[in-house]
Amino acid sequence: MIMSIVCECFQVTEETIREAIRNGATTVEAVGDVTQAGTGCGGCQSRIEEIINEEKK
């Protein structure tokens, strides 16, 4: 399985982010609290937002 890194700053994979969302982290901030993703340079935040919106479907 290919692990795609969403957050380069903390090497957080898409799967880790999806898991956090499924466990109740439904905002970019909450995902950051749980996984650190998005809490460095912030460059991946728009991608995190997209993933949240995908998971809400």
Whole-angstrom distance, CA of residue 3 vs CA of residue 30: 22
d(CA 37, CA 49): 11
The residue among 41 and 57 lying less far from ligand FES, judged by its C-beta, is 41
Number of residues that bind ligand FES (CB under 6 A): 11
Interface pattern 2-41 for ligand FES (x via CB under 6 A): -----xxx---------------------------xxxxx
Query: Minimal distance in Å, beta carbon 24 to ligand FES?
Result: 20
What whole-number distance in Å separates Cα of residue 23 and Cα of residue 38? 18
